[in-house]
A and B are shown apart, each in its own frame.
Chain A
């Protein structure tokens, strides 16, 4: 028996310190989202614990721990008003784990903390499921299992590195089984219960209304909005208008969609089909139900997970519930189109109304600008777009922007009650939403049906994979005017002021010193960033978005006839069995490492045993052979003596090359069928 040479407590101390280190790693992803006092509390409790373990102090008495626990629970209640739910639950879990660290008495406490640590990692995924977080989770899971093993080993003579290596080997063996479970485990298609705290701060995106400042707030965010895979080379970025909510009702300050119960003319379109673009969009979670699309779609996208999309009369696409998880859909869009070219003037009423008593100076300006054009000769029906009255009115307004010293800024001054008046006549500097809003109001005042469209413009093209990445910072607002005979025509009033915005995305100066491409492009490695993007897209596609629909879809593509959830279950069971066998075999295999001659000889002896001729432990092979020879009939006696000779020769005589003898022995043993006299 090996004696334990290192004291148990020394290993206990090491285990505790390792456990602390792993817990810090687990906590890191939560650092940014918890309230400050929680973070500070966690840091102080953990450092206190580390210090106490380091100094080998005894545990804190319950008298100290209990009030501390109550204080933490009360603090969380005051902060969140609940103990369950996403944020409060995470805060409670982390702080209680930290407090548990202070009373590490027995091995049981270590087990409990390890289990809590495993669970805490799940909560980290609520905010971020990036590969980096996944890597961190793998490392900390390994660390937790290493501590678990080390606790079991206690004072066994095995270094910390060997203990970690044991855990690593265990983790490596678990990979095939993990893969089988991950791929085939039937995924649920909806939440089991409501998602408390799921909406609100977590999801960003375009909202249902537009008031001055709402888009520019979004533009500060580098968060991902859309990822678009084009089947072929995508159109240039100034043509990538990702259409989102259409806002047609103006209350003097903010724009909102038309009420749902309003009767609108049916959606008709005559589309010039000379240019169709096929693409697949992955849309990040949004707090709204809007689905984005490139200009005008050719068909409704199909969703497997019951998100029934509907196309409104204003050509907007939305699902029937907020998109709290990423959605993916394929679309075909037309970049050259005519949208509802045959509407009657009375049907256009909703897009002409303006609130009474607001922006009087703007209305006057509209009169002033439109007067010379309206008095000119009226155009006949079949003219080019550029010759239509509506188009020329729009151009007048855009010229006004250009000539009257309007400027483009992310940080516009605050506006008064008549926001459009204030913008046009006082501040004259603003962001796309100011321009779209003012333009639309002016057009309506001139009698041209107009509306505001919000969405994203452009995106970053990754030429390696025809992948366009659209971020929240690409949020944009533009206008549509109705041109008789041509239908709805897109006008981007911002372009008159800042053509750069349209062509190359946001001006770098607007980023206030933030670097768009970062250090990678500075050292000439921007292609590395493209690869990283592709990797992220694939990660999103194959890991994060792996859903039941994708499971079944992939199975069907592999040729499985009509797969359903039962198929998944059956395949999973089969795969787990195979994987278990695959994993168990090398672990349990016990190869016969005896010399080959020994194996053959004992096989012959076993046949003799069936006849009652058992070799006693003290009997050597020669003596046994002589004894057996007396009871066997001559032929098998001779055969066995031959076997004995070969066995003795191979095992006890030094022969240079035993292989020929071994072969002969094997042949004799295979033919050996002993019989008694």
Chain B
């Protein structure tokens, strides 16, 4: 399932996005707005701070130092320093677990509103082959926050397996690919969220994290209405009887294949016989069963309800193999049929501006 190519105008322009806020702080912190293509987590992009356990560990170290000082224990000093040094090396190790990682967005399939958007991401070593253990990635704003309190351990059950990230490992020379689930709430062209990738490996005393804001968007179709009224009559005003023609079409000839034609209408036997190309069987009676779904005819509903109903109708019309089209306030999709046609219609619905924005 692949989203139709979005308009170039919908993508943030690379030049324009390079400094969204432009402040020196955001430049220093490496908040560079949406980035296209693959991204290498350079050292300057990786942040690190102690975890809750790291702070507790600091308290323990202080207690050890005080004990060593008070009782004049030279080995106590030595052990304290050794433990602290291991923690410092652990900090570098945690940092290294993230730095130099190469991230790439593989695919952002379209979803219906309410279902999680599944972003396919590939991770690999940019240069140096190195196994990276126990990484997590999630949308930056939402779900990592309350997970952080658990100290980066998965021994406690995660209550929402869809949006809470699990751990993954990146092999030294085997790229990892995984899916990040992001909740969707609203129809539209949802810009990809800023992602946060983090790790507390190896000691759990430090947390390194980095932000990655991939450019691009997820097409979110409207959620189809649950129990929509039956499809409007074809041609909108035609007689009820026209419906009886459904499924009783008669073969009316062949025409050239166009992308989007249903596979089962292709004249396969003919295609096997000569190399002229694919031909599609044409049926009569389709003329009378053409269905134009018109935005304007759905009076008395608000925009989102209309979009939902149209979405449900499109799905139903496609299921019934009707020839259908769509008229929206800002665009029109001509009659057609097939998977790509359906996607075209749904995309038109998704891309329709929200009333608040217009």
Q: Is the CB of B75 within 8 A of A543?
A: yes
Chain A residues with Cβ below 8 Å from B200 are 152
Chain B residues with Cβ below 8 Å from A151 are 153, 204
Task: Name the interface residues of B182-223: CB closer than 8 Å to any CB of A.
Answer: 200-204
Contact (A106, B155) CB under 8 Å given A145-B203, A174-B85, A174-B86: yes
Chain B residues with Cβ below 8 Å from A157 are 169
- Checking A133, A170, A192 against B202 with a beta-carbon cut-off of 8 angstroms, the contacting residue is A170
Chain B residues with Cβ below 8 Å from A656 are none
Judged by a CB distance under 8 angstroms, whether A148 is at the interface is: yes
- Checking B37, B66, B81, B169 against A185 with a beta-carbon cut-off of 8 angstroms, the contacting residue is B81
Chain B residues with Cβ below 8 Å from A593 are 127-128
Q: How many Å from the CB of B304 to the closest CB on chain A?
A: 36
Q: Is the CB of B72 within 8 A of A8?
A: no
Chain B residues with Cβ below 8 Å from A123 are 67
- Checking B57, B72, B126, B201 against A325 with a beta-carbon cut-off of 8 angstroms, the contacting residue is B72
Q: Is the CB of A543 within 8 A of B74?
A: yes
Q: Is the CB of A107 within 8 A of B85?
A: no
Q: How far is the CA of A138 from the CA of B78 in the complex (A)?
A: 10
Q: How many Å from the CB of A148 to the closest CB on chain B?
A: 5
Q: How far is the CA of A175 from the CA of B78 in the complex (A)?
A: 10
Task: Name the interface residues of A586-637: CB closer than 8 Å to any CB of B.
Answer: 587-588, 590-594, 617
Q: Which of B67, B99, B202, B204 has most A Cβ within 10 Å?
A: B202
Judged by a CB distance under 8 angstroms, whether A310 is at the interface is: no
Q: Mark A10-29, 1 if CB is under 8 A from B, else 0.
A: 00100000000000000000
Chain B residues with Cβ below 8 Å from A149 are 201-203
Q: Is the CB of A125 within 8 A of B73?
A: yes
Q: How far is the CA of A363 from the CA of B57 in the complex (A)?
A: 71
24 A-B residue pairs with CB within 8 Å: A1-B169, A107-B151, A119-B67, A125-B68, A129-B74, A138-B82, A145-B86, A151-B153, A152-B200, A153-B134, A158-B133, A170-B86, A170-B93, A175-B85, A181-B85, A192-B69, A192-B70, A325-B72, A543-B75, A587-B89, A587-B96, A590-B99, A590-B127, A593-B127
Q: How far is the CA of A525 from the CA of B308 in the complex (A)?
A: 93
Q: Is the CB of B96 within 8 A of A178?
A: no
Judged by a CB distance under 8 angstroms, whether B242 is at the interface is: no
Judged by a CB distance under 8 angstroms, whether B39 is at the interface is: no
Task: Name the interface residues of A480-533: CB closer than 8 Å to any CB of B.
Answer: none
Q: Mark B64-100, 1 if CB is under 8 A from A, else 0.
A: 1011111111111111111111101110110110011
Judged by a CB distance under 8 angstroms, whether A177 is at the interface is: yes
Q: How far is the CA of A166 from the CA of B97 in the complex (A)?
A: 13
Judged by a CB distance under 8 angstroms, whether B63 is at the interface is: yes
Task: Name the interface residues of A117-141: CB closer than 8 Å to any CB of B.
Answer: 118-119, 121-123, 125-126, 129, 133-134, 137-138, 141
Judged by a CB distance under 8 angstroms, whether A193 is at the interface is: yes
Chain A residues with Cβ below 8 Å from B93 are 170, 587
Q: Is the CB of B153 within 8 A of A2?
A: no
Judged by a CB distance under 8 angstroms, whether B156 is at the interface is: yes
Q: How far is the CA of A225 from the CA of B69 in the complex (A)?
A: 24
Q: How far is the CA of A325 from the CA of B68 in the complex (A)?
A: 13
Q: How many Å from the CB of B41 to the closest CB on chain A?
A: 11
Chain A residues with Cβ below 8 Å from B169 are 1-2, 156-157
Contact (A115, B177) CB under 8 Å given A182-B77, A192-B70: no
Chain B residues with Cβ below 8 Å from A153 are 133-134, 201-202
Q: How far is the CA of A156 from the CA of B231 in the complex (A)?
A: 53
Chain A residues with Cβ below 8 Å from B167 are 154, 156
Q: How many Å from the CB of B149 to the closest CB on chain A?
A: 10
Q: Is the CB of A185 within 8 A of B202?
A: no
Judged by a CB distance under 8 angstroms, whether A195 is at the interface is: yes
Q: Is the CB of B72 within 8 A of A141?
A: no
Q: How far is the CA of A137 from the CA of B76 in the complex (A)?
A: 10
Q: How far is the CA of A157 from the CA of B200 in the complex (A)?
A: 17
Q: How many Å from the CB of A144 to the closest CB on chain B?
A: 9
Chain A residues with Cβ below 8 Å from B202 are 148-149, 152-153, 166-167, 170
Q: Mark B137-150, 1 if CB is under 8 A from A, else 0.
A: 00000000000001
Q: How far is the CA of A108 from the CA of B152 in the complex (A)?
A: 11
Q: Is the CB of B72 within 8 A of A191?
A: yes
Chain A residues with Cβ below 8 Å from B57 are 111, 115
Task: Name the interface residues of B19-71: CB closer than 8 Å to any CB of A.
Answer: 37, 43, 53, 56-57, 60, 63-64, 66-71
Contact (A170, B89) CB under 8 Å given A1-B177, A141-B83, A178-B82: yes
Judged by a CB distance under 8 angstroms, whether A386 is at the interface is: no
Q: How far is the CA of A133 from the CA of B76 in the complex (A)?
A: 11
Q: Is the CB of A170 within 8 A of B90?
A: yes
Judged by a CB distance under 8 angstroms, whether B266 is at the interface is: no
Chain B residues with Cβ below 8 Å from A115 are 56-57, 60
Q: Is the CB of A152 within 8 A of B75?
A: no
Judged by a CB distance under 8 angstroms, whether B109 is at the interface is: no
Q: Is the CB of B95 within 8 A of A588?
A: yes
Q: How large is the interface on B (under 10, 10 to 19, 20 to 34, 35 or more residues)?
A: 35 or more
Contact (A122, B60) CB under 8 Å given A111-B151, A148-B204, A178-B81: no
Chain A residues with Cβ below 8 Å from B152 are 152
Chain B residues with Cβ below 8 Å from A324 are 72
Judged by a CB distance under 8 angstroms, whether A655 is at the interface is: no
Judged by a CB distance under 8 angstroms, whether A560 is at the interface is: no
Q: Mark A569-595, 1 if CB is under 8 A from B, else 0.
A: 000000000001001100110111110
Judged by a CB distance under 8 angstroms, whether B353 is at the interface is: no
In addition to A122-B79, A156-B133, A591-B128, 18 A-B residue pairs with Cβ atoms within 8 Å of each other are A1-B176, A1-B177, A2-B168, A8-B154, A12-B155, A106-B155, A111-B57, A118-B64, A119-B60, A119-B64, A122-B73, A129-B74, A152-B153, A153-B133, A157-B169, A177-B85, A178-B81, A590-B128
Judged by a CB distance under 8 angstroms, whether A103 is at the interface is: no
Q: Which of B57, B71, B80 has most A Cβ within 10 Å?
A: B71
Closest 6 CB pairs of A and B: A174-B85, A181-B81, A177-B85, A107-B153, A115-B60, A174-B86
Judged by a CB distance under 8 angstroms, whether B178 is at the interface is: yes
Q: How many Å from the CB of B259 to the closest CB on chain A?
A: 24
- Checking B77, B156, B171, B176 against A106 with a beta-carbon cut-off of 8 angstroms, the contacting residue is B156
Q: How far is the CA of A156 from the CA of B93 in the complex (A)?
A: 17
Chain A residues with Cβ below 8 Å from B128 are 590-591, 593
Judged by a CB distance under 8 angstroms, whether A64 is at the interface is: no
Q: Is the CB of B154 within 8 A of A119?
A: no
Q: How far is the CA of A2 from the CA of B81 in the complex (A)?
A: 37
- Checking B88, B155, B177, B203 against A177 with a beta-carbon cut-off of 8 angstroms, the contacting residue is B88
Q: Is the CB of B127 within 8 A of A592?
A: yes
Chain A residues with Cβ below 8 Å from B88 are 174, 177, 580, 583
Q: How far is the CA of A122 from the CA of B200 in the complex (A)?
A: 27
Q: Is the CB of A173 within 8 A of B89?
A: yes
Contact (A588, B92) CB under 8 Å given A115-B57, A122-B64: yes
- Smallest Cβ-Cβ distance to A192: which chain B residue: B70
Q: How far is the CA of A173 from the CA of B72 in the complex (A)?
A: 27
- Smallest Cβ-Cβ distance to B128: which chain A residue: A590
Q: Is the CB of A191 within 8 A of B89?
A: no
Q: How many Å from the CB of A246 to the closest CB on chain B?
A: 29
Q: Is the CB of A187 within 8 A of B153?
A: no
Chain A residues with Cβ below 8 Å from B95 are 588
- Checking A119, A134, A590 against B100 with a beta-carbon cut-off of 8 angstroms, the contacting residue is A590
Chain A residues with Cβ below 8 Å from B81 are 177-178, 181-182, 185
- Checking B70, B74, B134, B177 against A195 with a beta-carbon cut-off of 8 angstroms, the contacting residue is B70
Judged by a CB distance under 8 angstroms, whether A546 is at the interface is: yes
Q: Is the CB of A192 within 8 A of B66?
A: yes
Q: How many Å from the CB of A374 to the closest CB on chain B?
A: 56
Q: How far is the CA of A187 from the CA of B126 in the complex (A)?
A: 45
Task: Name the interface residues of B312-344: CB closer than 8 Å to any CB of A.
Answer: none
Q: Is the CB of B70 within 8 A of A187?
A: no
Q: Is the CB of A191 within 8 A of B71?
A: yes
- Smallest Cβ-Cβ distance to A177: which chain B residue: B85
Judged by a CB distance under 8 angstroms, whether A544 is at the interface is: yes
Judged by a CB distance under 8 angstroms, whether A188 is at the interface is: yes
Q: How many Å from the CB of A285 to the closest CB on chain B?
A: 10
